Structures are given as C-alpha cells and as structure tokens.
Amino acid sequence: MKKIIIILSSIIVVIFIILMVFLFNTNSKDKDIDNVKDNESTEKVKEKEDNEFSKLSYYKEENLDRYKSYETNNPNLSIEDIVTKVNLNLDKEIYTDTRPSTNLNTNYLLVNKFNYLDSNYIPENLELLDNSYAKSGIYLVKEAKDNIERLISDAKNDGMNIRVISAYRSYSYQENLYNNYVKNDGVENADTYSARPGYSEHQTGLVVDITRAFDDFNNFENTNEYNWMLENAHNYGFILRYPKDKEDITTYSFEAWHYRYVGVELAQKIKASNLTFDEYYVRYLESDNN
C-alpha cells in the first residue's frame, strides 16, 4: 500500500511539473505575441507621427503609398499639392480608374475626367434662357439661370455686353461633339479641350459658355467683358472653371469663356482661395458632402 502511494505521488508530481512547464510556455508565447502587437502598434504610431501627409484634413490612409510615390517623382511639390493631386487621381492616366459622380442635382457636383455622369442623367429644374440673354434653345438649372440673367443685366448696366452661347448639353450631344473633334484633331488633342461623353460639366446644367455678344468666343479673353467677369462673376455664384496655369489640375486647356455655377457663397470662397473647383472640392467639400 505504501508503495502504491509513493508511485501515485510521483505521478502527481510529474503531472504537476508538466502542467507548469506547459503554462509557462503558453504564457511566454502570449507575452511574445503581445510584445509583437505592441511593437507593431508602436511602429504604426511612429509611422503616423513621421507621416507628414496625415496632418492634412483631406489625407486618405489608403492613398499613402501613392502619396510617397508621387512625392518621389515630384519633389518640388508641396505636401498639400501632392495629397490634392493624388486624391484627384492625377497620378493616373486620364479616364482611368473612373467613378460615378456624387452629389447629383447639387451645386457641389464634381464632373471631370475621373468622375462621370450616366448617359441617362438629366439635371432637375432645367429652364429655358430668354433669347435676350442667350442663343435660342439654351437650358440651365433654374438657380444658375436666374443668376446668369441677373449677372448679364448688371453687366449691361456697366456697359458690358455678355451673351450665353452654350449651357446644358445632353449625353448624345456630347457624343456627337467629341467624335467630331476626334475626327478632326485626333484623340490626344481632342482630350485637351473637349470632354468625352459623360465627363462634360455641361451635362450638369450648371455651366455656361459666354462671349461678348455676337463676337467669337475664342476672342473673349481680349475683351472688357472678360475682365469684368474675372472681377464680378463670383458675386453671382460663378467661377472660371478652367483658368490659366492650372492645366495640370483641370486637365483642360485654359478656357476664358467657360464658367461654372456653384452658388454665391461657395464661389466667393473659391475665388478668395485662388484654387480651382477640383482643388477646393478635394480639400474642403469631399468629406462633407459624400
């Protein structure tokens, strides 16, 4: 009996030792895992602290590698410009990685070579402009129509003679127009001044092409009316959409005649910022309106 008790006691001791060794190893592994997690967290925190891009309110974590790559290729650009351009997809070829436009039927609607409208999109509240302000058969969204008519009337009181020559364009109209440009100038050249169907701001019903009445719109830059628009258009809710020296942002050649309605308050802010609509959208509007 005594021998049996000794044997059992030995077995219990062995089991206890095995159990303690197992628990010790398990705790060690858990601690190792915890240490790895802690190290990873520390590295992430340090990486974020060292990441100057993340200090911007419009920073997108999923774009970090693209920011870094774009910075390497464009070392003279500011951090603000790098993040802005990458968020606009300007590190990619035009008309690639495109997405449907959001904020439909609002003044915040962004349409460019990376944001498109469906072929069946027709803006709400389109109204016909009176022939005293425009060529016949021209439509605009009501709010934009009311304000361009007010602008033209006030400009006339200042001795200016402004007329709308183009505004809302349907998808099919864009299609015919772009195809004709491609036929005459080729795709590469056409893409510098004309939008592919679905990518034209004209489909928003918020855009006007203007000129000095009965004058060639290509000469608009050389008129007093052009200077008047630069000084006053924002007070009526319109901004020059494709300004000089911003082709790298807008991806369009300078168009002295192309004005976009965004509303008076926003137009005044954009004017004061000296940013294009694309830039202002990415920095201040995108997160609030998507």
Cα gap 195→237, rounded to integer Å: 23
Cβ atoms of 54 and 61 closer than 8 Å? yes
Residues 6+ apart with CB under 8 A from 119: 171, 197, 198
**What DSSP assignment string belongs to 14-75?**
HHHHHHHHHHHHHHHHHHHHHHHHHHHHHHHHHHHHH-GGGGSTT--GGGHHHHHHHHHH-T
CA distances from 23 to 3, 30, 32, 113, 270 (A): 30, 10, 14, 61, 65
For residue 130, the 8-state DSSP code is P
Q: Which residues are catalytic?
A: 255
Alpha helix ranges (H) inside the chain: 2-50, 64-73, 79-87, 142-157, 171-185, 187-193, 224-232, 247-250, 264-273, 277-280, 286-289
